[in-house]
Structure 1
Amino acid sequence: MRSQLTDYGLEFNKIPLYCDNKSVIALCCNNVQHSQSKQIDIIHHFIKEQVENGVVELYFVRTEYQLADIFTKPLARERLEFLIKKIRMQSMSPETLEKLADEEEE
């Protein structure tokens, strides 16, 4: 969709992608092929291509602030609660959800 809209003359900023692995960032931003990088996952090749095409921009983020972990990994309760606060997510009881649904219907 992005490429179609670009064909119509619409411009977009680069998509920020936050990564907690400096080696992956270096591989994706460096045009040199290393012997150690021959067996990289397909996703890394895709990301590298997107960086080269100017669609994505990679940023380093320390592991403890990697918000995507909440959706991709099992986490300890303290870490889960920390990340929930960071993304401003709220946990609601079934009673609260029911009240909100009732308010919507009115």
Structure 2
Amino acid sequence: MPSATIPGLNTSWLRGWPLVGLIGVGLTAVALLHGAATDNLGSACTVSVQAAEVTVRAAPNPSAQPLDTLARGDEVAADAVVDAGFRKLVDGERWVPANSVAATAGSQC
């Protein structure tokens, strides 16, 4: 295979493990830039409220203290944890009925 040389540029170090390291750094930078551009650095699970109105509760129990109310179409970051029919949201002890939300497109719940 023919190779091109650039006068004054020594690329002998760019072989083997140094090349693997350089490729790894490059791929890491691309992944971080993509995550920052798509705002996907934190939770990989996002859910959309399907019911007309959903009460966010302090525990996975229908009689637990109500904390907030979400409306149809609201999107919130969630955990993959489902307990007693409730899905855990990412910010503290906040739970919604699992059957009232659905994973958004591309979300990994």
How would you bin the TM-score normalised by the shorter chain? Answer: under 0.3
Higher relative strand content: 2
TM-score normalised to structure 1 length: 0.20
Larger Rg: 2
Higher relative helix content: 1
